[in-house]
Chains A and B, each alone.
Chain A
Amino acid sequence: MALSKKDVDHIAHLARLHLSDAEKARFRKQLSDILAHVDALQSLDTTDVPAMSGAIFEGSRLREDIAGDAMPREDLLRNAPDRENNQFRVPPVLD
């Protein structure tokens, strides 16, 4: 299945990527090839194979509900490009 240019625009927007026209053309080809490969896999008959949700097969390991220590705030905020009032400061977003 070949992707349209509009599909590529949409996917780029979802990932917040700005692509040049040349990149869009290249990724359109690459993404279409990946989908073609998946199409090939889909031609297999998997009627009797249960769907798989991940690569870990044993059941969940649950953690007891005991609160531990948080990380020092200074360490956390060291990652912030900008900060104010001990919070991450980001460009304005609407509610």
Chain B
Amino acid sequence: MTTQYEAVVGLEVHAVMETQSKMFCDCPVVDSTHHEPNVAVCPVCAGMPGMLPVLNKAAVEFALRVALALHCEINSTSIFARKSYFYPDLPKGFQISQYEQPLAVNGWLRIPTESGELRVGIRRVHLEEDTGKLTHLGEDGDRRTLVDLNRSGVPLLEIVTEPDLHTVEAVRNCAYALRSIMRYLEVNSGNLEKGLLRIEPNISIRERGSQALSTRVEIKNLNSFRSLERALEFELARQAELVDAGGAVQQQTLGWDDVRGSTQAQRSKEVAEDYRYFPEPDLPPLVVDDKWVREIEADLPELPQEKRKRFVEMVGLSDYDAGLLVAERSVAEFFDAALGAIHKADAKMLANWITGPLFELLNKDGYSIESLPFGPEPFAELVDMVASGEINASSARSVLSEMAANGKKPKELVQARGLAQISSETDIGELAERVIQKNSQQVADYVAGKDEVLNWFFGQAMLASQGKANPTLLRQALRVQLDAARAQKEAS
């Protein structure tokens, strides 16, 4: 997109509240992408006549956690409404949602961007029920649609941001931040592919510097963060081209086609959307008392952006390292606990051992940090052993893999495998001497002025020590002895 235009983007996010039971009935919430179809359905969520909804307390509590984490004003009385439309995934012919008086309004969150922290407004947060799942099959005359109602009535949270995002990076980071917050709050696992989290940007462009609101296009069908970025870039370029050519952007909903890499018109509507919202007569207003709200607020965990700030300001990490550590709550908590357990290493070194060797191990073996057979304390002990020179870094890496395999304590493993670093000056001196005596040709080369032979000696000596020599001391000892040989030659 040319620099003449500025992107104006807001997000509409739908997140499944991962409760045990559905929003208005006690059917279990199951993984609708893999589960046997139509086995978690009852007369309420199948939309049979005469059934009455009863609201799930946990769905409300989960929604309140998110609303409070996003600094929203909570409406002590909110109202459910019927949103009417015909579609086979909606057995009642209407969806129970919130419209005029949602659960929460007017919040904000801070997100990191290249040009510093950005405050993004939250317009509203409300609860609604999810729809069933459709599968389209067949071709031509054989085309048909199958309906699975396992997902029907699963609690869904809708979060609508203000159109405060002006770059693709900001949109991505805002989506990441919302996902991360909900994972921290343990209300949603953040899986876009399975549709547990659906991110729908509304996109418009305007002349840079203008404050005007332009016609916006909404994009659906984004099932990865990569698709979100690609769709944004595509749509911004499409709108700029259209406006450059003298055309006008039409208000519409487009679906992202990941294979074609373009947006497509989704459903053609002969008439404008007309949902005829009205208050749901089967549900009383949702009243949340202040005491309950305060309890939930008091129980909120420290959130990712606050943690990041603390790691930078109080612990002294770089913003980059802090960002890596806070992306997952379990990792951040592992770091915090290990930080409390180290005696010799510093915070920076600990952070490096987590984002380096530990992440490498997790990626390689597909572990999550929670599933490791060791906790933060043994890990801190290992990093301390490196900091104090008891073992060297490469031994520590192999001890770490063993800890992951059998959960044994680092001290035990170091002892059992004889990995303790050779740090006594006498031992190191003898090691250097042995290697020097065995290689008179290379000594002659060094004496003749080839300084780089020192590295060769270092490699040989390290090999002879099976990697256990303290590298700093070893290099020092070799240099001292070789320089002595050189001095002797010059003197004679």
Contacts and interface: CB of A to CB of B under 8 A. Distances in A.
B438 interface: no
Contacts of A94: 267
A67 B18 CA distance: 12
The residue among B40, B135, B284 with the most chain A CB atoms within 10 A of its own CB is: B284
A65 B145 contact: no
Contacts of B148: 87
A77 to B, nearest CB: 7
Contacts of A92: 136, 138, 143-145
B448 interface: no
Interface string A65-76: 111101101001
A62 B64 CA distance: 14
A62 B37 contact: no
A14 B93 CA distance: 11
Given A53-B279, A62-B60, A91 B36 contact: no
Contacts of A14: 84, 271, 274, 276
Interface of A: 10, 13-14, 16, 53-68, 70-71, 73, 76-77, 79, 84-95
A58 to B, nearest CB: 6
B321 to A, nearest CB: 38
Interface residues of B, number: 56
Interface of chain A: mostly helix, strand, loop or mixed: loop
Contact of B57 (A65, A71, A91): A65
Interface in B248-292: 255, 266-267, 271, 274, 276, 279-281, 283-287
The residue among A58, A59, A61 with the most chain B CB atoms within 10 A of its own CB is: A59
A57 B285 CA distance: 8
A67 B279 contact: no
B21 interface: yes
B285 A53 contact: yes
A54 B20 contact: no
A67 B26 contact: yes
